[in-house]
Amino acid sequence: MNKSYITTPIYYVNASPHLGHAHTTVMADILKRARQMQGVDVWLTTGTDEHGQKNQEAAEKSGLTTQQYLDRRSAEFQALFDRLGVDYDYFVRTTRPQHKEGVQHFEKILNDKGLIIQKPYRGLYCTGCEQFKKESDLTPDGRCPDHPTLEIEWTDEINYFLQIEPYRDALRAYIDAHPDWITPDIYANGVRAMLEEPLEDLCISRPKSRVALGVEIPFDDAYVTYVWFDALINYITNVGWPDPQYREWWPHCEHLIGKDIVKTHCIYWPIMLMAADVEQPYRISVHGHWVGAGGQKMSKTLGNVVDPIEVIDKYGASALRFYLARHMRAGSDSQISLDLLHQTYTSELANKFGNLLMRCLVFCGTHFNGAVPEVAELHPDEAKLVDAISRDIAAALKDLELGGIPAATLSLVQATGTLNDAITALAPWTRIKNPDERARVASIMYALLECLRVVAEGFSPFIPEASAKALKMLGAPAPASGADAQEPAKRRLAGGTPFGSIEPLFPRVDQ
């Protein structure tokens, strides 16, 4: 891989951003940073989905003009991602003219090919999902399983539709021919199962009389585009489509999505692309959902909502990013609460990594003038330790994929554990009392500091802020990237380099 275009879903602005939104965008940032370390050229987009009925209703309730409302909410998402240290290259807003023109162009192509029909639609609609529902999609009491507090609406209106059933076989064949296209397998299998049944026509419009917030249908000004149809197209308009330059990034595109939006991304979107003769994205990577401790869905009523801003204020962005990276399980829901987050922060970041770093820096502050010890040659035991840690961390970060993020963070924690065991076994504080052992203590401390540097660099995609601080304290050179980063055996701390100013990396937080 030498190029990677990573996308997140674009988020509805009907309410403030929540933990789930933070999750996908942070995972995208982690993949971006890890891939950049390997010399991959990366383009990352995230942003807001600003059309449709539920955004319109939220804007109406806000007392602001629609534009003011959208600007304010979109800025909230951008501010959250900025605080989380997300290095996005483009922040999408679907209300921008360039995107809207792209959507209309897409619709014209389909209409000119005769693929769009007009017909009445009668059916059930969930504004939470912004999707039509079948009776069989609902709970026994007639509610949407994902939005049980919302009323399902009865809709009866004339709309435009894309016939998608004619593409079902082609999509099945594509999935069979590209077994890694949708990952993990559990979701690919779910998509295969959905494709066993004939596909109903996809409604692509809403009458303006009901929903005005949307992209006008280019061939009928009484209608706007259905929000999902418009939103999905962001993935190509962001990179310039229909200008042929979009091909610079598009074939390298990986969509990161939560399990709630598999059908739209793995069925509707690929068929839309087939219909418009645009090639498929490179990959669709799916993650499970965060739920509260005990497996309950987070809700204000249960009081188990984890607010990302609150967590960042109290523990810092690194603590939240680390928890999200460390504990998302592949293919199923994962639990989060302030207690769980506190435990991970304290036991893995503060006590394991932060403490060890501090102990080593303070020890060398006292015995080696506050600088990296100068060592002609490492003792074989320490040379072995440095090589093993360097190899493990390089392996953990190599070709990182969404599903591999938790295991990579576990490797970092395990490496930190190994270093804590090493310092206990090597006992530099005992040896330093014997002047004959000074050279060995220098070897031990150099090795520990160099390993801490390797681990701190390994942490950089996950917790860039804390990693940069640790590297600065260690007096480390700028992190290696590209070919250099593929060379784990290289020792990069220079003996005699003074440490940066020392401060607690993960300060103690009272629960």
**CA distances (Å), origin 465, targets 131, 460, 471, 490:** 39, 8, 10, 24
Interface with ligand MSP (CB under 6 A), residue from 6, 10, 80, 266: 10
Instruction: Identify which range of 10-18, 61-69, 273-281, 446-454 contacts ligand MSP by CB under 6 A.
Output: 10-18
Interface with ligand MSP (CB under 6 A), residue from 86, 103, 231, 393: 231
Q: Give min distance, CB of 155 to ligand MSP, in A.
A: 19
Cβ neighbours, 10 Å, residue 110: 17
Specify the residue, 11 or 462, whose C-beta has the smaller distance to ligand MSP. Answer: 11
Q: How big is the chain by its Cα radius of gyration, in Å?
A: 26
Specify the residue, 12 or 226, whose C-beta has the smaller distance to ligand MSP. Answer: 12
Catalytic residue at 178? no
Q: Site mask, ligand MSP, residues 249-288, x = CB under 6 A?
A: --------xx-xx---------------------------
Specify the residue, 12 or 132, whose C-beta has the smaller distance to ligand MSP. Answer: 12
Instruction: Identify which range of 197-205, 228-236, 241-249, 390-398 contacts ligand MSP by CB under 6 A.
Output: 228-236
Strands 153-162 and 116-126: antiparallel
Q: Site mask, ligand MSP, residues 38-57, x = CB under 6 A?
A: -----------x--------
Q: What is the DSSP letter of 498?
A: B
Q: What DSSP line would sit under 177-204, residue for residue?
A: H-TTSEESHHHHHHHHHHTTSPPPPEE-
Report which secondary-structure segment, H or E, holds 486.
Answer: none
Q: Which of 100, 144, 252, 266 is catalytic?
A: 144
The distance from CA 186 to its chain's CA centroid, rounded to whole angstroms, is 19
Largest Cα span, the chain = 91
Specify the residue, 24 or 53, whose C-beta has the smaller distance to ligand MSP. Answer: 24
Q: Give min distance, CB of 56 to ligand MSP, in A.
A: 14
Q: Is 232 in the site for ligand MSP (CB under 6 A)?
A: yes
**CA distances (Å), origin 216, targets 103, 164, 231:** 9, 22, 13
Residue where the block lists tokens 């990237």: 481
Contacts of 297 (CB under 8 A, 6+ apart): 291
Q: Which of 21, 99, 342, 469 is catalytic?
A: 21
Catalytic residue at 144? yes
Report helix, strand or coil for 312: helix
Q: Rounded to whole angstroms, how far apart are CA atoms 243 and 246? A: 6
Q: Give min distance, CB of 355 to ligand MSP, in A.
A: 31
Binding site for ligand MSP (CB under 6 A): 9-12, 20-21, 23-24, 49, 231-232, 234, 257-258, 260-261, 289-290
Residues annotated as catalytic are 18, 21, 126, 129, 144, 147, 297, 300
